[in-house]
Every structure is written in C-alpha cells, then in structure tokens.
Amino acid sequence: MSVFDKVAVIKPDHVGDLILGAPAIGRIAGLASEATLFVAGNNVSLARHLFPRVEARQLDFPHLAKGRNASPLSPGELRRMFSPFSIIFVLRSDTALNRPRLEVLGRPVFLTAHLEGMHVTRSHAECLYGVIGHYDSDAYWPGRASAWPSRIIRVALVVGAGFPTNRWPAWYWARLASLLEAKGRSVLLVGGPAERDFMVTIAQIAGLTDQQVLHGSPDNIPELLARLGTCDVAIASDGGSGHLASLACPVLSLFTSSPYRRFAPFGRENRLITLDLSCSPCLNAHDQLVNLCLTHECSFGILPETVVSALDAPPSPPGSSRPLGDPYDARLIYGVSHA
C-alpha cells in the first residue's frame, strides 16, 4: 500500500554518499506510488543499478561537482523541476542545501539534519522518523550483510580515495600486497578511472599481474561488484570505491583525515583503522579555506604491518575498539555504522 503519491528524493553528492543513502532511498521508494531519484550526473548509472524500479535523473550542484563543470539552476528552474511532486526528501544538509534555500521548491520538504558524530544512516533515520516512523536500515541495505570471515584468502585492495588527504601512499599499498602474498593470500588491486596511474605504480612495485588489477568505472558496476564478491575482504581507503566494496564483501577501512564516525562504510561486521588524531577530521575541501597540512601523518602513520594485524584480529561487537600495538597508536574500531 502506497503512503505517498509522487515523491522526489534528492541525493546529489558523491558515490559513497549515495551508497550510504541507499537504505533510506529504498524505504522511501517502497512507500511511494511513484518515486524519482535525483543524483549527480556521474552517479546515474550506479543509481539505476541500485534502484532498477526507480527513475534516476541527473541533478548537479556546483559545490558538489568535485572539479566537474556544473551550472547552478535558477530558483525558477528548480521550482519547475519539482512541481510534479507532492513531497520531497533531501538526504543532505549543507550551506547550499538547507531549509531556507529549499523553500523555493514550493513543496513539503523533509531534510536530513547534519548531526556531527552520528553516522549518516542514523541521520537519515532521524529525517524519516517524523514521516514514516522507525525503520531498520539493515532491512533496506542493497548489498550483502556478510560476516567477517574466519579464514581470509582473497583480499581486494581498494585504493580510490575521495580526497587527496584520504589517500594512502602507493608504497604502503605495494608493501601490503607483498605482505599478504607472503602469507599465501591472493590480491586484487581495485580502483576507478582517477586512480589509473596510481594503480600502475602500485602494481609495478608489488609485481602484480594484469589479472590482479581491476579498473572500475560507472559502465562496469555489475562486473566490479561481481569480482569484489569473490573476495573474502576488501581493504579500502575512505572513498566511493570503498563504499562500493561494502555492497559485496566485508571492508576494513583506512580512515585518515575524514570523520569516520559519520562516513564509515555501512555494515555491522566492517572494521576500520584510525590514528584518531586531534587534528582529524581536518579540512578536506572548502569553497573559501585552504588545507595547509603538509605532513599527512594521519595517513603515513598507518603502517602496512598494522593493517595485516587488524585484518586478523578477533571479532568484537559494534562500537568496540582495540589498540593495534604499533608505533603510532593506531586503533581498530568495529562496526561503526551500528555502534
């Protein structure tokens, strides 16, 4: 039974954000007789893969374009675009997408609150609570809910990073690949179009074959997820590729400069490593300020040997953590999205 008539869902940000919004989008779409999802242009293919029964349309905002050209829509254009809808859900809140600015739409708008320290899936639940009541994000997660494997043989190294300060060094990835193969584990190196040269460097240092390198793109999402699904675990930087991996297998994330409490990949069994420095989360991107950090110790301080020890650490309940006993006091944190 439909609760809503024609519903619009606005989720115009990055790959990882769309994936973290997937449970809320799925729940809203299931309650509507007709739902349309508005996403950034480079996410249209992913949206259609995740929600084959929902119409996906392109909607780009300049402040979210990440180097791409995007022309701002006038208030009149936005109002005409959303005039067919009876209700609008906006699963993001920032200086450009907020209640005063969205009044121009002339429709009831339900907006996600920006809640520091709370995982974004919980923020979405807070947004929906007043409209549809409680819902369980796990029930609408479009990926697998895999347990952490007791025996790890196949490991994907997912090197894509959302911002430069989230990137782990190429030498560290190569060293990690060598450590894993020395333990009899097979390695699959995964990244997107922006990481092509970075991946070539890693593969050359580590001596990986062409069959061990997988270049993902918006055109091969089913193939990418199928290959990741053959892996026992993915080790990933904080970025869209790591969130894609979370759809297919458990993920061990390397969180450096970004807020792990808000953006950890969704999954009760997932793990992450962080130094949890006092300067982290730091300024990744801003329209007026410049990040002047030159040391990036949040990244360089996570050692490949530390990652291997986190991979093999015993299980623990969501929200628990343990020191990894390395020189830089890295910590392993479990199930952040479910803490």
Domains and CATH numbers, the chain: 4-140 (3.40.50.2000), 154-338 (3.40.50.2000)
The pair of three-digit structure tokens given for residue 71, joined into one six-digit string: 């022309």
Gap between the Cα atoms of 91 and 114, Å rounded: 10
Q: Where are the alpha helices (DSSP H) in 190-231?
A: 196-206, 221-229
Handedness of CA 234, 239, 241, 244 (dihedral sign): positive
Q: How do residues 96-144 score in pLDDT, each as one tens digit?
A: 888 888 888 888 888 887 777 899 999 898 888 878 888 899 999 999 8
pLDDT at 303: 97
Q: How do residues 244-293 score in pLDDT, each as one tens digit?
A: 999 999 999 999 999 999 999 999 999 999 999 988 888 765 556 677 78
Nearest to 251 by CA among 234, 268, 239: 234
pLDDT at 289: 67
Whole-prediction pTM? 0.94
Average confidence (pLDDT) over 324-334: 96
CA dihedral of 4, 8, 9, 13, whole degrees rounded to 10? 180
Average confidence (pLDDT) over 144-170: 92
